[in-house]
């Protein structure tokens, strides 16, 4: 497949890496449906995409809400004249240790809450499940082929302290990538994943300099990755028609 041939949904498409992916695809000539929960980010995205050779449409969708996903996919399908690609990028953090103790007394002072756990699982794992299910059901029913799904996982899928919820979701997403690739291959739909390391986004750039420096010191390449380096992985997956069921680690050699 070629980037210019894509009619692609990008979730979390109004900010961070998702915004970069939406713009890069649109500038490559693709038709892009950017889904995001924040309407303000989508409005800014439309302004930045003006004049690009592709087409950009925006949709306010919470990927953890089944009804919104069903309605959003249907609307994007109708307005773009079908769809053949999806980048499952939307994600959130609700970090916390499983059990936290008071340094002075050694007593338990906090626990990772059920709400923290569930919020991340809902967006980062259930969201991709709902999006992939709804898009692929339509593609199969309408005999749209070839197609490609790109799941954005994380280096944290190997397990990162303070991220029980996020690590579980991102590990599960890679497992589903392999599973879905086998189930959907007969329909001409490929499924692959990318596991970014520490990437230059507004969230990381907002960290205290000493914290960011400590984080980067663990990366063999001694720097943050750039969003365009992750997009290079998306381009490879889209354009290499023999790639499916695998996860690309784009993390500067980081080992957690």
State mean pLDDT over 132-161. Answer: 96
**Environment class of residue 245 by beta-carbon count within 10 Å: exposed (0-12), middle (13-18) or buried (19+)?**
middle
Q: In this structure, is residue 204 part of a structural domain?
A: yes
Alpha carbon distances (Å) from 60 to 53, 88, 114, 244? 23, 15, 27, 30
Q: pTM of the entire structure?
A: 0.94
Residues spanned by the domain of 231:
3-250
Q: In this structure, is residue 256 part of a structural domain?
A: no
Of the residues 59, 166, 187, 242, which is catalytic?
Answer: 166
166 part of the active site = yes
Q: Domain holding 124: CATH number?
A: 3.40.50.720
pLDDT digits (tens, 9 = 90+) for 86-145: 999 999 999 999 999 999 999 999 999 999 999 999 999 999 999 999 999 999 999 999
Q: In this structure, is residue 40 part of a structural domain?
A: yes
Q: In this structure, is residue 255 part of a structural domain?
A: no
Cβ contact 85:59 at 8 Å: no
Based on the structure, what is the number of domains in the chain?
Answer: 1
pLDDT of residue 18: 97
Rounded distance between C-alpha atoms, residue 148 and residue 163, angstroms: 29
Q: In this structure, is residue 127 part of a structural domain?
A: yes
Q: In this structure, is residue 70 part of a structural domain?
A: yes
């Amino acid at each position: 497949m070629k980037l210019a041939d894509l009619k692609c949904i990008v979730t979390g498409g109004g900010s961070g890496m998702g915004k970069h992916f939406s713009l890069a695809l649109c500038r490559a000539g693709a038709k892009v449906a950017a889904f995001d929960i924040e309407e303000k980010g989508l409005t800014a995205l439309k302004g930045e995409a003006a004049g690009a050779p592709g087409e950009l449409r925006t949709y306010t969708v919470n990927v953890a809400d089944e009804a919104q996903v069903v309605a959003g996919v249907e609307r994007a399908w109708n307005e773009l004249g079908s769809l053949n690609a999806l980048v499952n990028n939307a994600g959130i953090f609700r970090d916390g240790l499983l059990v936290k103790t008071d340094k002075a007394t050694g007593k338990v002072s906090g626990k990772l809450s059920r709400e923290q756990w569930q919020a991340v699982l809902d967006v980062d794992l259930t969201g991709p499940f709902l999006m992939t299910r709804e898009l692929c059901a339509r593609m199969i029913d309408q005999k749209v082929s070839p197609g490609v799904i790109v799941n954005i996982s994380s280096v944290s899928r190997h397990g990162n302290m303070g991220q029980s919820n996020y690590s579980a979701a991102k590990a599960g997403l890679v497992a589903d990538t392999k599973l879905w690739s086998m189930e959907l291959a007969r329909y001409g739909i490929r499924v692959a994943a990318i596991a970014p390391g520490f990437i230059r986004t507004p969230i990381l750039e907002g960290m205290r300099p000493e914290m960011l420096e400590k984080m980067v010191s663990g990366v063999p390449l001694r720097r943050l990755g750039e969003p365009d380096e992750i997009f290079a992985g998306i381009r490879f997956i889209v354009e290499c028609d023999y790639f499916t069921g695998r996860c690309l680690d784009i993390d500067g050699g980081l080992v957690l």
